[in-house]
Structure 1
Amino acid sequence: MRKDKNNILSLLKIKPSARSVDYVKNKKQFQLHTLLTEQRHPKTWNLSFAIKDSVEEGLKQILSVDEDISKKFQQIIKNIKNTLSLSQAADAVVNAMKERRKIFIYGCGSTGRLAKQMESALWRPFWRKIKKSRLWEKLKSSLPEDIEDLLIGEMTGGDRAFISALEGFEDLQLVGKLQLRDREVEKGDVVFCITE
């Protein structure tokens, strides 16, 4: 803890508890503020103030972040090598769906949470909605009945990585090998590893 009189605790005349001091000094594995994915976005750093003044301006700030995604995709497709890789990845997913193979998405820490989110908030709800629509009648002969279960989002670091990022853990080949074996990944399955 800072000892000078110009810190916020001195100003508010608050003395930190022993548990707080212990956390700051010793619990470094739970302090994620240095990770890129835990940083404030420069376009939305003052979102709470903007949206308080004007909901419209707040929403504009949120939507402006999507411009970064579009720019990144433009950079990716300018490189033919990237375009070929994306095409191969898309073909692999299509083949896996047709052949009822599993599609695994692995990440560690923030990207692992993203992998879980892709499974639970995107893939499953999308296919459940399609199955309730008239479109399913056209698709069901060429897709597996349990298509919503084909994509599996995985945390490379397991439960520990869910609450605390394990930097570099995804680079340990032994851990990857064990996880692939535990999940019974077979030839024909598709495995994506994501990182930031």
Structure 2
Amino acid sequence: MTEKLNELTTEMSQSGDLPLDELSSLKIVQLMNEEDQKVALAVKQALGQVAKAVDIIHAALEAGGRLFYFGAGTSGRLGVLDAAECPPTYGIPGEMVQGVLAGGYGALINAVEGAEDLPDLGKGDVIERKVQAGDVVVGVAASGRTPYVFGALEEARQRGAQTISLSCNNNSLIDQGVDVAINVVVGSELVTGSTRLKAGTAEKMVLNMLSTAAMVKLGKVYGTLMVNMKATNYKLRERAKRIIMQATGLSYDEAAELAELAGDDVSVAIVMQKAGVGSEKAAQLIKQTGGNVRRAIEQHTKA
């Protein structure tokens, strides 16, 4: 880890003579907004690599593997956030997608900055999670050189897992030996070195793509509908009824009745209506197809 940090794009000064601290609030947020508009275009340049990563993740999850995000600081927190939102959104087991943060979950709210400098800590976290062949490990580091992430990816490869790197610099150190390297070069930050800004936004956009596209390909989405979401509160129960209405063409009252018969399981309700079966048969079809609503319906109608 002897690289020169001052040569990293994410560490460069955007404009040394910009008196940011003397500008009005409106001018500051205007400048930030202008910078943020560059992020989506930078992500666009990396979509080919993102798609390759999605295919690797989808294949692994479909075969029973797991997806891990390893990162430090902002990058690690974003990984934990993305992983945490997958079970309620897509109805998957909590262990299927996991976010691992250098310094542990306490570092979510209290920074443990020194943890990122320890490659052995990354290796240890991989060992603790029992990462193995069939799993996928995504190492996330805006700088592309975080020792913790480097160590995690190295240990994951040795244990037979497939590896993906996500950074905001070209030719990053963490790219070495990975199956797919995703480099989203957003340029220097308005506040020099503050990679929670554009780099963090870029990372979140890519993580959204990785998990969302993989879940779509797994059949956790029917059309554009979150048919595997868990209706655990009033808002979500109402959303579930709207999803059933949109998928089946039923009225609100009919969808509410169907949801009750299906035990508030949206996917079961849709299969019941579309395949013309009872709740037990619908649940059986969904289980046989790994939670894929479209395949469950097609499997019954072709039988």
TM-score normalized by structure 2?
A: 0.33
TM-score normalized by structure 1?
A: 0.49
Structure with the larger RCO, 1 or 2 (CA within 8 Å, 6+ apart): 1
